[in-house]
Amino acid sequence: MKNIRLRAMIVVVIILIIVLASSLLINKPLTYNISQGYLVSTNLSAVEGYGSNSFVYSNGQSLMLYNYSTGTASQLGPSVGLSNSGIDTISVSQDDQYVVFHDEQVGTGSLYNQLQNAGLDPQNDYWLLYSVATQTYQPLPQTTILAKPTSNGVEALASVAGVEELINYSYANLTPQSTINISGINDFFVANGGVILQTPSNKVLFTTNGTVSQQLAGNAVVLAITPDNQDAVVTVTQKGANQLSLLNLQTHSEKTIASNIIGPPAWSSSGAVLYTASDGKSGSKLYSYDMTTKKTYVWDFVGGATKTIGQSTLAPVGLVGAQAAVVSNSSTSYYLVGNALAKPQVSL
């Protein structure tokens, strides 16, 4: 009898060891050996992935496309006098036909004249919609606080006569299509037939009409909604440390992706997030999490080109491919890092 009990205990211990080992193996990040890194700019505050192997940025005059597979740049839009350091946000529609961006101060050029001729003050900051097909820029109303491209037009948060509203505009001519009165929010995300709302006090709400809201979380900051609309990617502060988590939009449960993250992550519309986190020693590393495969990758820098960048000081600017990203360091130099990159033929 004792032998049977002993054997049973041994079996249980072996099973526990296997389960523990499997858990550690599942949670252990995979590795991207990043072998290339190029200094591309000292003034590149916003980028967004576009099509295959490219990203959108501003060169100060127009919206540009940089192809990291060829190392070349081309104009996406005509030269109209955009600013470069003043463009702090760029978003691209899912079909790559529209670009929504925020310009803190337009430069001298045809866009300046367009605003002035429309009776608008060119000295103000503007949210603008660019159409790739018509090659035209349209300013959203000056009441706009935040704007994003969606599958059904441009969704904008505006303050009209002291009242906050979510307004949906058509892509064709920015005609208002629907309006929801809302208050006390500073960000929004269209999902699941309604809108995810972010409050300044870090509450996450869901509403379909602006009148009735359901609280999804009480201490989280939403970064993005996953492509399947099942989860929100959020940052949560726990005991003074920031962690990256998935907030399930149905059950409201949270799953931790990473602990001890440093600074804001960068989100890719393809469904991945790039972030900097403590490596548990004296420094930090870049990591990415793929929402489709549910896998974490550590970006290990190898080779002479990337060793000189100083990975411990890098901050994500934009994840523009599975293994391609724009990052910055403490001296505000901007680097393109990754694999299968062509040597840049131009300075951005």
Sequence spans of domains, the chain: 45-142
Which residue has better confidence, 311 or 279? 279
Determine the pLDDT at residue 1.
55
Determine the pLDDT at residue 303.
78
Handedness of CA 49, 53, 58, 61 (dihedral sign): negative
Question: In this model, does residue 162 exceed pLDDT 50?
Answer: yes
The overall average pLDDT reported for the chain is 87
Q: How far apart are CA 178 and CA 153, in angstroms?
A: 10
Q: What is the percent of the chain with per-residue pLDDT over 70, rounded to a whole number?
A: 89
- Across 241-246, average pLDDT: 93
pLDDT digits (tens, 9 = 90+) for 52-107: 899 999 998 999 999 999 999 999 999 999 976 679 999 999 999 999 999 998 88
Q: Which residues contact 58 (CB under 8 A, 6 or more apart)?
A: 46, 64, 82, 83, 84, 87, 90, 101
Structure-token pair, residue 205: 């709400």
Determine the pLDDT at residue 125.
93
Q: How far apart are CA 271 and CA 139, in angstroms?
A: 29
Q: How far apart are CA 125 and CA 141, in angstroms?
A: 11
Q: Which residues contact 154 (CB under 8 A, 6 or more apart)?
A: 98, 100, 129, 140, 147, 148, 168, 169, 170, 171, 174
Question: In this model, does residue 13 exceed pLDDT 70?
Answer: no
Report which secondary-structure segment, H or E, holds 286. Answer: strand 284-290
Q: What's the length of the chain?
A: 348
Determine the pLDDT at residue 17.
44
Question: In this model, does residue 313 exceed pLDDT 80?
Answer: no
Q: What is the percent of the chain with per-residue pLDDT over 90, rounded to a whole number?
A: 64
Determine the pLDDT at residue 12.
43
What letters, b where the CB count within 10 A reaches 16 and e where it falls short, cover 276-294?
A: bbeeeeeebbbbbbbbeee
- Backbone φ and ψ of 246, nearest 5°: -105, 125
Question: In this model, does residue 23 exceed pLDDT 60?
Answer: no
pLDDT digits (tens, 9 = 90+) for 109-145: 899 999 999 999 998 999 999 999 999 999 999 999 9
Q: How far apart are CA 321 and CA 343, in angstroms?
A: 16
- Across 182-203, average pLDDT: 93
Q: How confident is the model at residue 18 (pLDDT cuts 50, 70, 90)?
A: very low
Question: In this model, does residue 325 exceed pLDDT 80?
Answer: yes
Determine the pLDDT at residue 327.
93
- In this structure, what DSSP letter does residue 342 have? P
Question: In this model, does residue 306 exceed pLDDT 80?
Answer: no
Q: What is the pTM of this model?
A: 0.88
